[in-house]
Amino acid sequence: MPLVEIGLFVVMGFLAVAVFILLTQNARLSELIRSQRDEARARDTSVAVGEEARRASLEGAVRSLEDKLRVYDTLLREWEKDRAQKFGQLANELQGASKATLRLQETTQALASTLSNNKLRGQWGERMAEDIIRYAGLLENINYRKQVAQASSGTRPDFIFLLPDERVINMDVKFPLNNYLSMVNAPSPAEHDAAEKEFFKNVRARIKELRGREYINTAENTLDFVLLFIPNEQVFGFIQEKCPEIMDEALKDKVVLCSPFTLYAVLSIIRQAHEHFRFEKDIRKILGHIDIFAKHFDTFKARFIEFGEIIVKLQGKYSDLRDTSFKNIETKIRHIEEHKRGAPGAGENDLPEAS
């Protein structure tokens, strides 16, 4: 065989092997490409599914957020409406409070003006005392009298309270408050202390004055003390706190200081005393009627027993009449009936004697 053919044969063998190897590599490469393409498709599908799920989740979260925002918007609108309404109410209440403050200021000024005038202060004390007396249930000219002069001394207490057994208690309502007001309105501590001293001096002087006005008078059948009305609870408390010895001094002078609360308690006791006295009188009358009833009952009992004895006697006479006279009459009637029937010799020997 020539060398050329051998060489060609060798070359053709190498070419065949190369082609085989090339085809094999090409097939493997195609398979690899196909596998990678399938994996890429699977990854793309998984990514698409994940993105779809994330998108759905995001849309759900957005919708939930929108719903909450709508709820919050509704609440905010309602709160705003309620706030506007309450603000309007608050404005009306502030306006009403402002008017009430103005009225209170006017009343305070009028009260200060009243308390600074002795005559008006006395009238104010009388009005307060009358209100408390009315609340305590006392009636004028029944439980108390007002501005009536005492016959023996000519003095005129503001109030005279009527007690059982024709006893009375006198009360004065004119209390010195000028220096107390000056003390409250004092611009400096020095003026405050000076007004306070003057106030306590006025109270002691008023107590001495009442002691000398014969409000305690045996000729008028009064009790052994007189009432001095302080028409302000704060003033009464101030005296007890700052100068309690005034209370003891007043009691030594037979003067009882009364605030509105303590006066109500005293008047309640007076009313109860009246009621107990009236009950006692009524009980005595009832006991008297019971005694009279007992006497009448004893008389009635004796007459009733006497009447019973008469009934017993009548019962005896009735029984005798029924047992004797009725029997005789019945016998006569029977004989008469026998004679009518013509029975011979009927009843000839049975004629009863007349009784």
pLDDT of residue 201: 93
Task: Place 18 in a pLDDT band, splitting at 50, 70 and 90.
Answer: low
Q: What is the mean pLDDT of residues 312-341?
A: 77
Q: What share of the chain is helix, strand, coil (3-state, %, to 5)?
A: 75, 5, 20
Report the distance separating Cα 352 and Cα 338, nearest Å. 15
pTM: 0.49
Q: What DSSP state is assigned to residue 161?
A: E
| DSSP 3-state of 81 | helix
The yes-or-no verdict on residue 346 having pLDDT over 70 is: no
Angle 332-336-338 (CA atoms, 0-180°, nearest 5)? Answer: 115
Mean pLDDT of all residues in the chain?
Answer: 77
Name the pairing type of β-strands 226-229 and 159-162. Answer: unpaired
Query: In 3D, which of 322, 324, 351, 323 has the Cα closest to residue 335?
Result: 351
pLDDT of residue 52: 73
pLDDT of 185-236, one tens digit each? 888 999 989 999 999 999 999 998 888 777 888 788 888 889 999 888 888 9
pLDDT of 156-180, one tens digit each? 888 988 887 788 888 988 888 888 8
Report the distance separating Cα 339 and Cα 345, nearest Å. 9
The yes-or-no verdict on residue 119 having pLDDT over 80 is: no
Q: Cα dist. 188→182, 185, 238, 247 in Å?
A: 11, 9, 19, 28
pLDDT of residue 7: 56
Report the distance separating Cα 32 and Cα 29, nearest Å. 5
Q: What is the mean pLDDT of residues 304-324?
A: 79
Q: Cα dist. 234→54, 129, 336 in Å?
A: 78, 16, 115
Report the distance separating Cα 42 and Cα 173, nearest Å. 110
pLDDT of 46-99, one tens digit each? 666 667 777 777 777 777 777 877 887 788 788 778 777 777 777 777 777 777
The yes-or-no verdict on residue 22 having pLDDT over 70 is: no
Residues 204/239, Cβ–Cβ less than 8 Å: no
Residue 271: count other Cβ atoms within 10 Å of its Cβ.
Answer: 17
Structure tokens at 28: 């493997």
Within 144-259, residue ranges assigned H as helices are: 178-184, 189-211, 233-242, 245-252
The yes-or-no verdict on residue 9 having pLDDT over 60 is: no
Which of 83-87, 114-118, 122-126, 197-201 has the weakest average pLDDT?
A: 114-118
Share of the chain above pLDDT 90, in %: 6
Residues 272/163, Cβ–Cβ less than 8 Å: no
The yes-or-no verdict on residue 20 having pLDDT over 80 is: no
The yes-or-no verdict on residue 353 having pLDDT over 60 is: no
Q: Which residues contact 276 (CB under 8 A, 6 or more apart)?
A: 164
Which of 3-7, 148-152, 346-350 has the weakest average pLDDT?
A: 346-350
Which of 234-243, 281-290, 298-307 has the weakest average pLDDT?
A: 281-290
The yes-or-no verdict on residue 121 having pLDDT over 90 is: no
The most confident of 25-34, 153-162, 344-353, by mean pLDDT: 153-162
Q: Please tell me which residue, 45 or 235, carries the higher pLDDT value.
A: 235
Which of 29-43, 134-148, 186-200 has the weakest average pLDDT?
A: 29-43
Query: In 3D, which of 341, 333, 342, 340 has the Cα closest to residue 351?
Result: 333
Kind and range of the H or E element at 226? strand 226-229
Q: What DSSP state is assigned to residue 172?
A: E
